Structure 1
Amino acid sequence: MATVQVISPVEPPSQGLSKLSISHTTPALDTNPDLPIIRSQRLDTPYEPSLKLWEADQKAYQKPATLELDPLPEGFPERAGGPTLWDGRELANQPEKWLHQFTAEEIVDVEQAAAHFDSLKLPYSAITQETFPLSALKPTLAKVVEEIHHGLGLRILRGLPVQKWDRHTQIIVFAGISAYIGRRLKQQSTSAIVHLRDLTQFDPKERPKIVLKGQTNANQVFHTDAGDIVGLITLGRAEKGGLSQLSSIARTYNELAETRRDILRTLAKPDWISAQYPNGVALFYHLDGRVVAQYARRPFFGFYDAPDRPGGVPPLKHEQHVALDAIHFTAEKLSLDIDLQPGDMEYFNNLQVFHARTESEDSPENTRHLLRIWLRNEEHALNHGPDWDARWKNLVEPFDEKFPLEAWEPIEDKSGLPKARGY
């Protein structure tokens, strides 16, 4: 068997004098450079969901006397169904439904494929099923694809020996296995992968701008990313916390359909305006027979180093604030919380599963560090329709793929940061 080189990872930049705290008036990534930036006042509630606001609204809410007076959004079902309808509190006791342990044969298969690709001396962008050939693991990955699209919508693969591999090999393996799940989509302009770890501990002059909640140790709000499939590989685990949280969008929908149909009507109305969508979009859809969502808080509230909402983009209405908080607290109540270990891979259907993360605390010995990839499987993906084709045009078009070796390597994004290094 060909061997895979093991070396120490690249050293991080020097640490800053103190750990930064997360501001509740952090700004938004979703900006238009042609519009002026408003920094003199906050037009919206903070990025973080407000349990106080949600509970007060629940207390004040008066449910209409009849369903005729309280309709669901037009075209939406009375109840969402199918295999992606699950309660995470129950799934937590049924790991056999969502967890696969890599076998010794599968690990050998992966390492041989990585060594083969390394021998080709090709750029990471050349990683495909052909250049990363698998045999023993291939049937398992076919089942993962089936489960993501036609089953629970999630799968955890456990037990890769990532801590004995160098970063070069870790990236090859992550991209190589992911090539059997779907084709890579664009993240942050040119990046095929993104590092998720706490960057607030580093000197702001030496680290890239923080534009993702995953670049901090604070809890992540329930949301979806862009693209059809989200893939993660855990390279390092935090000393405390950092649980991965997954929640069924169908189950969240049913809960709100029973208790707060007004919120569903708000979420399905195409008047959610941001710099990216100045004409407005909906956040919930009935698409190809399934209830799906595309939602993140950052375009509406802002976050950390990213710019504020631009002028001309109106603040959210009160009912929209409440609807966003309703998503978070409902999904949180129904979530499957997973303590990802080093070597775990997590894939889930981004249109049918909300995701979040609990706050974490690193130590010198244990640091949270994951790689993220966005994917689409053309054979199994939902039929999005022309509106979504336009919405995701930037994601799916060919791009000059970059694979940053470390989290502190700059990544080009909408704010004009330089491109990532690596190849």
Structure 2
Amino acid sequence: MASVQTTLPHTLSPAAAEQGQLPAGFPAVLDSNLAWIGADFKNAESYTYQLTDADIAEIDDAVKHFKSLDLKGNQVTRDTFPLKALGAILDGVSAEIYEGRGFGLVRGLDAQKYTTEDLTLIYLGVQSYVADQRGRQDAKGNMLVHVIQDQTNQMAANHHRHSNKAITFHTDEDGDVIGWLTRGQAAQGGSSVIASAYAIYNLLASEHPELINALASPFTFSIPKIERRPAIFYHEGRLIVNFGRTPLIGSEAHPRDQKLPLPTDEQLRALDLVEEIAHRVELRIKTQPGDIHFINNMAVLHRRDAFTNDGTQAQFGRRHLVRVRCRDSRRGWAIPKDLEAAWDNAFSIDVRRGESWNLEPKSELYFPLRKNPN
């Protein structure tokens, strides 16, 4: 992989260093495999694992084995969904997400071959080898979120999750790793687009170190709850990014309470420049039905291109992703104190916090859109 140093300047200028414009403890350069640019990946094969016939056979056997145990779908684990050979490869995908480039794609499932139930079992089985803990994605305990176009009401039509419009770069509210199963593909557009927060940081630290300070100072987030905290952290030797424009400045679906303070001019400038740089270093990933892709939600930003569905709304002719938020018990990063509550709400084992598993999209009664930006 090409080093980001060869394509993006990121040496802190002497003047900036003397002025101490970077926040205390933040490095001038992040020397990491996570600091990549899209041009480093000219071939999708470099980040894609193509399932073999032997892999598919092992997956099919694992489905049969799991069903023989008479367990519920949420009990898919490495033990109940055995993938001896493929599991070792998926462990490598996990290592790549946490310790390498921060993303990966598994391709080769025939989405039309399986029932929705079996395809979901396979998805959860694969996910359990990449990051074994699954998180609740909202207050109602939804574990699977369906990202589809929904124009049944104005709220849904303008929401990130259900609009067909392009959306800006962001991270999800919690979760080390975000996974998506592609069940359907848009007729036009709809690519998933990612950008390295580490590469963005390096360029900002080089050219505008004062904006690192702005991002590391407290913002007022409006959703999913009102809180004051930074958008970026440098914690135990790692950059951790957690923000989106909607919680910070509002959107059509989530108008901001005018009583809440807006970001400062310098913070707004920092957000705008992050978006601009992200577009410069982005990587576009075109998925197809049956694909499963994962990103490191603490180090990789993501967005979506605008899209148009097949007018017939055929099962595989409209964009349909199924999202999980997860964390690996072996490789999980230490979480900054300001984010601990969100991670705890998602991943803690608490019988008082129920789980809801919807194999198909449901109305806002099941998915509280107003309180969740993504």
TM-score range, shorter chain: 0.7 to 0.9
Is the 2:35–2:101 contact (alpha carbons within 8 Å) kept by the matching residues of 1? Answer: yes
Query: Would the alpha carbon gap of residues 204 and 138 (structure 1) be closer, same or farther in structure 2, given more than 3 Å must change?
Result: same
Q: Encode CA deviations 1:198-244: one digit per residue, 9 max, x unaligned.
A: 112xx329xx8467413111112111112100111111111111111
Q: Encode CA deviations 1:326-350: one digit per residue, 9 max, x unaligned.
A: 1111111101111111111111111
Q: Encode CA deviations 1:89-131: one digit per residue, 9 max, x unaligned.
A: 221x143431110111111111221233234443222222222
Matched, 1:104 2:59: no
What SS does structure 2 have at the residue aligned with 1:255? helix
**Residue aligning to 2:88:** 139
The match for 2:324 among 365, 370, 373 is 373
Matched, 1:411 2:372: no
Q: Encode CA deviations 1:353-378: one digit per residue, 9 max, x unaligned.
A: 11111111111252111111000012
The offset of 1:267, in angstroms, is: 0.3
Q: Determine which structure has more spread, i.e. the larger CA radius of gyration.
A: 1
Is the 1:273–1:314 contact (alpha carbons within 8 Å) kept by the matching residues of 2? Answer: no
**Residue aligning to 2:296:** 349
**Residue aligning to 1:256:** 204
Query: Would the alpha carbon gap of residues 109 and 211 (structure 1) be closer, same or farther in structure 2, given more than 3 Å must change?
Result: farther
Q: Encode CA deviations 1:39-74: one digit per residue, 9 max, x unaligned.
A: xxxxxxxxxxxxxxxxxxxxxxxx996542361122
Alpha-carbon distance in 2 for matches of 1:258, 1:88: 19
Matches within 5 A, 1:39-78: 66-69=16-19, 71-78=21-28
Alpha-carbon distance in 1 for matches of 2:37, 2:285: 14
Matched, 1:115 2:70: no
Is the 1:245–1:338 contact (alpha carbons within 8 Å) kept by the matching residues of 2? Answer: yes
**Residue aligning to 1:16:** none
The offset of 1:273, in angstroms, is: 4.2
Alpha-carbon distance in 2 for matches of 1:95, 1:67: 38
Matched, 1:280 2:228: yes
Matched, 1:228 2:154: no
Matches within 5 A, 1:22-421: 66-69=16-19, 71-91=21-41, 93-182=42-131, 183-189=133-139, 190-200=141-151, 203-204=152-153, 209=156, 212-225=159-172, 226-274=174-222, 278=226, 280-306=228-254, 308-310=255-257, 312-363=259-310, 364=312, 365=314, 366-398=317-349, 399-409=353-363, 410-413=365-368
Alpha-carbon distance in 1 for matches of 2:66, 2:217: 48
Q: Which moved more, 1:353-362 or 1:265-274?
A: 265-274
Q: Which moved more, 1:285-294 or 1:211-220?
A: 211-220
Alpha-carbon distance in 1 for matches of 2:203, 2:182: 32
The offset of 1:315, in angstroms, is: 2.4
Alpha-carbon distance in 1 for matches of 2:252, 2:259: 21
What SS does structure 2 have at the residue aligned with 1:247? strand
Amino acid at match of 2:181: I
The offset of 1:386, in angstroms, is: 3.9
Q: Which moved more, 1:154-163 or 1:211-220?
A: 211-220
Is the 2:164–2:307 contact (alpha carbons within 8 Å) kept by the matching residues of 1? Answer: yes
Alpha-carbon distance in 2 for matches of 1:132, 1:222: 34
TM-score (ref. length: structure 2)? 0.86
Q: Encode CA deviations 1:246-294: one digit per residue, 9 max, x unaligned.
A: 1111101011112222221110112434355645100111122122200
What SS does structure 2 have at the residue aligned with 1:215? coil
What SS does structure 2 have at the residue aligned with 1:343? coil
Is the 1:231–1:346 contact (alpha carbons within 8 Å) kept by the matching residues of 2? Answer: yes
Alpha-carbon distance in 2 for matches of 1:84, 1:135: 29
Identical pairs, percent: 30
TM-score (ref. length: structure 1)? 0.76
Q: Encode CA deviations 1:168-219: one digit per residue, 9 max, x unaligned.
A: 112111112111122101102211110111112xx329xx846741311111
What SS does structure 2 have at the residue aligned with 1:187? coil
Alpha-carbon distance in 2 for matches of 1:236, 1:414: 22
Alpha-carbon distance in 2 for matches of 1:388, 1:169: 34
Is the 1:284–1:293 contact (alpha carbons within 8 Å) kept by the matching residues of 2? Answer: yes
Alpha-carbon distance in 2 for matches of 1:102, 1:173: 13
Is the 1:229–1:350 contact (alpha carbons within 8 Å) kept by the matching residues of 2? Answer: yes
What SS does structure 2 have at the residue aligned with 1:321? helix
Q: Encode CA deviations 1:384-410: one digit per residue, 9 max, x unaligned.
A: 254432342211223422121222344
Gaps of 5+ in 2: 1-12
Amino acid at match of 2:318: T
Alpha-carbon distance in 1 for matches of 2:45, 2:371: 45
What SS does structure 2 have at the residue aligned with 1:272? strand
What SS does structure 1 have at the residue aligned with 2:23? coil
Alpha-carbon distance in 2 for matches of 1:302, 1:273: 9
Query: Would the alpha carbon gap of residues 330 and 368 (structure 1) be closer, same or farther in structure 2, given more than 3 Å must change?
Result: same
What SS does structure 2 have at the residue aligned with 1:402? coil
